[in-house]
Structure 1
Amino acid sequence: MKRLLLPLMAFAVLVVVLAAGLTHDPRRLPSVLIGQPAPFFDLPTLQASNERLSSQALRGRVWILNVWASWCESCRDEHPLLLDLAALGIAPVYGMDYKDEREPALQWLAMAGNPYQASIVDRSGQTGIDYGVYGVPETFVIDRAGIVRYRQAGPLTRDSLDGVIVPLVKRLQHEGLNG
């Protein structure tokens, strides 16, 4: 009897673990960066590799960082929403071209439209690691003090844009005027 009970219990535990995994939303990955200073970067820009952009240069304004790559299918899916977000003009959108090649990235932006004030190039992926990037795309909202206020793993959706990001950015812009 014990010989049958042990495998049956092991199977039951496995079923519980797998069932718990199925209820987990991969877009709701926790981020230790929320409420913490955004990691420092000083990287070349995609548009002009002899120019650099640093996180320090962005202090004093609310900004959005979108991690993307030309080889990323989900990035292509979210791209129209990034164009919409940039068109709102509520905060500058910066890109981080992640583990990508320069020419395909430039070609993609020329073809699809460029929502970014600038894109920094993270060819090694080190800055992405500093930000805790699990994969592309990911989007971060950073406040005037350089604090990460929101992170979305996975592609933006209309609901996340209209229901979370836009209201948050507007609130942060308002706080900056009154704080």
Structure 2
Amino acid sequence: MAKINPLIALPPILFAGLAGLFIFGMGREDAQQLPSSQIGRDAPSLAAVTPLGDLAPLSDEMLRTGGVKLVNYWASWCAPCRVEHPQLETLAQEGVTIYGVNYKDEAPAAQKFLAEMGNPYAAIGQDEPGRTALEWGVYGVPETYILTSDGKIAYRFAGPITVEIMEKYIKPEIAKAGE
């Protein structure tokens, strides 16, 4: 009787494993969302951010006091940041405190962006070298973090906040962070 090589079974086993991973990935609630290791941790320091012109400067203490707040990383050169900006304006008008961190941008361009689009930020800082963003785990802009009243990261959203995303994810997560 001929012996069967066990390597013959390897391709179907590998295929089944890959298919299982794809099915699992498609079944996630939001397949577009990237995981974050920062959830539940204290927000990293903003000590390295610098003021942006004469706008209200962002301080590290602001993250750790007061109610629920958003920290939004953005840049004037970022097209998706323009898409999400009206939603940030809406949230600010509804009383949500939003702090902005201008990422790898030149101050005059950032100020022109805000003059043109409006300024939803209660305070703002500039992270021109991008070092603070690395500590926060920012993949790219725009990226928004929801912080609890004591400065812990409750939720992270990578990408532009659309009206649908604001209603489906951001507002419920703000409410949950306030509990």
Alignment of 1:119 with 2:121, yes or no, is: no
Corresponding residue SS for 2:83: helix
AA aligned to 1:39 is: P
CA displacement at 1:44 relative to structure 2:
1.8
CA displacement at 1:107 relative to structure 2:
0.3
CA displacement at 1:168 relative to structure 2:
2.6
Corresponding position of 2:80: 74
1:102 to 107, 110, 135: 107
Question: If the length of structure 2 is used for normalisation, what is the TM-score?
Answer: 0.79
Corresponding position of 2:158: 153
Alignment of 1:93 with 2:103, yes or no, is: no
CA displacement at 1:27 relative to structure 2:
3.5
Alignment of 1:30 with 2:27, yes or no, is: no
Question: 2-side partners of 1:56 and 1:27: how far apart?
Answer: 32
AA aligned to 1:40 is: S
Question: 1-side partners of 2:73 and 2:80: how far apart?
Answer: 11
Q: 1:26 to 1:48 in 2, by over 3 A?
A: farther
CA displacement at 1:52 relative to structure 2:
4.4
Q: Does structure 2 retain, via aligned residues, the 8 Å contact 1:47–1:118?
A: no
Structure 2 residue runs of 5 or longer lacking an equivalent are: 1-7
The structure that has the greater radius of gyration is 2
Q: RMSD between aligned alpha carbons?
A: 2.9
Question: 2-side partners of 1:102 and 1:26: how far apart?
Answer: 35
Question: 1-side partners of 2:133 and 2:32: how far apart?
Answer: 17
Question: 2-side partners of 1:159 and 1:48: how far apart?
Answer: 34
Corresponding residue SS for 1:34: coil
Alignment of 1:169 with 2:174, yes or no, is: yes
Q: 1:52 to 1:83 in 2, by over 3 A?
A: closer
Question: 2-side partners of 1:55 and 1:162: how far apart?
Answer: 28
Corresponding residue SS for 2:62: helix
Aligned length: 170
Question: If the length of structure 1 is used for normalisation, what is the TM-score?
Answer: 0.79
Q: Does structure 1 retain, via aligned residues, the 8 Å contact 2:154–2:177?
A: no
Structure 1 residue runs of 5 or longer lacking an equivalent are: none
Q: Does structure 2 retain, via aligned residues, the 8 Å contact 1:64–1:94?
A: yes
